[in-house]
Amino acid sequence: MDWYSTIDFAMIKTPNKPLSRFSVAPMMDWTDRHCRFFHRLLNPEIVLYTEMVTTGALLNGDPERFLRYNTTEHPVILQLGGSDPEELAQAARYAEKYGYDGINLNCGCPSERVQKGAFGACLMAEPDLVAQCITRMRDSTSLPVSIKCRIGIDESDSYEFLEDFVTKTHAAGCDTYIVHARKAWLKGLSPKENREIPPLDYPRVYRLKEEHPDLSIHLNGGICTLEDMTTPLNMCDGVMIGREAYHNPWFLRRLAEQFTPATAPHHSRAEIVIQMMDYAAREYREFDTPLHSITRHMMGLYHGMHGARAWRQHLSNVSRHAQNNPLFVLDFLNSECMLTE
C-alpha cells in the first residue's frame, strides 16, 4: 500500500492559514518530524511545533537535516533557539524558504546547556535584546513570529516582570505568546524538575490576557485532560499540550472529537499503526530511516488499554529484531496479544 493513499488531504490545512486554539509543545528529542506525522494522523487541526533548532546548528550545519518535514504536518511552526538578532534573521529566512507556517522564539527552556548558549528562559531577563531579535526576524520574513516563555525566572517572579517582557517584545512586533504558567529556576533544578516543582499560576496568565486583549495568549503547563482546558479556553486564546500528547497520544484524537468533530478522523488505533508502517517503509526507502526512529513515538498509542504493556514491550524490541521491516509491528496486531479498541 502506498503511504499517500492513507492520507485524507481534504483534512490537511494549507500553509499560512489561521491557526487552531490547540497546539502540541516543542519537546527536545521528541517532536521530530516522525512524531509530528504521527500526531497529525490523530488530529488534523492541531498546530505542531518542531523541536527547538538552534541558530548555530542551522546556520553551520545541514539545513535540510533540521528543516525537512512532511507536507501533511501543516500547520507546523519552527521553534528557534538563539539570541543573536542577525543569526535569527537568517534562520527566519530559512523557515520561510522551507514553507513553515510560523516561527517561535524559545524564551522558556531552563536547561543549563541552553543557558550556556545565552538563550532560552534566561532571555526573559533581557527583553530589549529579545525585542531586537523580534524586529530583525520580522524584517526578514513575512511569517508570523511568536514567543514561548515562562511567567518568571528565579527571583524575578512577579506579574510586572512578565508584563514588562511582553510589552517590550510586543512593541517590536510580536503578537502571540505561549506562556508556560510556571516560573523557571535557572540554577538548582533540572528541566524535568522545572516542569513539576514550581507551582502553576494560571491566574497570572489570565491577567496578562485580560490586560492585553489585543495579544494572542496561549497557556501551557499542566494540561492533561479535556476538563483541564475549560477555564484556559475561556480566559485565553488557546492551550498548548505538552507531555500528555506524547505519553498518551490518543488524547489528541479525543481532543479532535470534542472540539473539531467535523474534521476528526475515524481511524482505529490499528489503522493508525498501518498508516505509520506505510510511512516507515517510505522513510526507509528514501532516507534510510531506522524503523525505531518512528516506532519510539508510538509507545503510548494504547495507553490505558488492555495489551498496552505488551505493545510497549514489542516496540522496545524493534531495534533488535525488526531489521527495519514494518511487518514486525504489523504482525503483532494479529498476534495472540491482539489489541482491542
The answer on 154 and 22 residing in a single domain is yes
Residues with a known catalytic role: 109
Domain boundary among 215, 238, 259: 259
Domain membership of residue 281 as a residue range: 269-333
Q: State CA 128 to chain mean position distance.
A: 26
Is 45 a member of any domain? yes
100, 77 Cβ separation under 8 angstroms: yes
Residue 338 in any domain: the answer is no
Contact by Cβ (8 Å): 58, 43:
no
Residues 202 and 319 in one domain: no
| Distance in angstroms (rounded) separating the CA atoms of residues 229 and 137 | 32
Residue 126 sits in a domain of what CATH number?
A: 3.20.20.70
* Domain-terminating residue out of 239, 259, 279: 259
- Contact between residue 79 and residue 122 where contact means Cβ atoms under 8 Å apart: no
CATH of the domain at 279: 1.20.120
Q: Same domain, yes or no, for 208 and 278?
A: no
Residue of 174, 180, 188 whose CA lies nearest to 145: 174
Per-residue pLDDT in tens (0 to 9) along the chain, 341 residues? 333 333 333 333 333 444 689 999 999 999 999 999 999 999 999 999 999 999 999 999 999 999 999 999 999 999 999 999 999 999 999 999 999 999 999 999 887 666 556 778 999 999 999 999 999 999 999 999 999 999 999 999 999 999 999 999 999 999 999 999 999 988 877 878 878 888 999 999 999 999 999 999 999 999 999 999 999 999 999 999 999 999 999 999 999 999 999 999 999 999 999 999 999 999 999 999 999 999 999 999 999 998 899 999 999 999 888 889 999 999 888 775 555 55
Which residue among 235, 259, 283 closes a domain?
259
**For the chain, what's the residue count?**
341
Same domain, 292 and 252: no
Q: Please, which residues have CB within 8 angstroms of residue 163's CB and are 6 or more apart in sequence? A: 208, 211, 212
Q: Give the count of beta carbons closer than 10 Å to the beta carbon of residue 165.
A: 26
Stated pTM of the model: 0.91
Q: Determine the pLDDT at residue 4.
A: 30
- Is 52 in contact with 77 (CB distance < 8 Å)? no
User: 241 in helix, strand or coil?
Assistant: strand
In this structure, the answer to whether residues 304 and 255 fall within a common structural domain is no
Residues 212 and 231 in one domain: yes
- pLDDT at residue number 338: 54
Cβ of 162: how many Cβ atoms within 10 Å? Answer: 25
- pLDDT of the residue at 147: 98
Residue 321 lies in a domain: yes
